[in-house]
Amino acid sequence: MSSIQEKPAVLLDSRAFRQALGHFPTGVAVVTTRGSDGRPVGLTINSFSSLSLDPPLILWSLVNHSPSLDIFLNCDHFAINIMSEAQAELALNFANPKVEDKFAMAAHQDCEEGIPLIDGCSARFVCENYQSHEGGDHRLFIGRVLRHEADGHAPAVFHQGRFTRLAMA
């Protein structure tokens, strides 16, 4: 019986791999924090996932070349803002590096930890920056959830490179 370690590495076409991953619909979130200079920082992610119920942990990832990587590595807290389907344009703005003041376009308020929480989201999670790990060309962040809320708005969904809607039965 052969083990996984004995099998030769497979070279994948990264573009085809990314397209294949796009067949898995994901939610869309904006992760927010504050830099050491007090400036609000936020960016769009679709790598959000639940990790553990006890303790309450979530997981997300950030590409290693992100200009915001050091800010998230060094912050004490961050928030995951699950975008509603009405917030697709806002999510695109937070994903666009050319948009300088992303928070100017987003109604938001600070939580008691000083982290911006975006209004009108499907759900929000305030997290302690619990752990981070290397993960290939990304950094994996684990947050310990301190508080959460859900507003009941339909979530933004991303599938095959575009926003779509859930079909409600």
Judged against a pLDDT cut of 60, whether residue 2 lies above it is answered with no
Domain count, the chain: 1
For position 1, what pLDDT does the model report? 47
Average per-residue pLDDT for the chain: 91
- pLDDT-wise least confident of 20-24, 66-70, 138-142, 152-156: 20-24
Domain that holds residue 145: 20-158
CA angle at 19 for the pair 17 and 24, rounded to the nearest 5°: 100
8 A C-beta contact, residue 97 and residue 85: no
Residue 92 belongs to a domain: yes
Domain containing 74 — which CATH number?
2.30.110.10
For position 13, what pLDDT does the model report? 83
Residue 47 belongs to a domain: yes
Residue 164 belongs to a domain: no
- Over pLDDT 70: what percentage of the chain? 93
Residue 44 belongs to a domain: yes
Residue 137 belongs to a domain: yes
* Cα 40 to Cα 33: distance, rounded to the nearest angstrom: 6
Q: For 90-120, write each residue's pLDDT tens digit.
A: 999 999 999 989 999 999 999 999 999 999 9
3-state SS class at 88:
helix
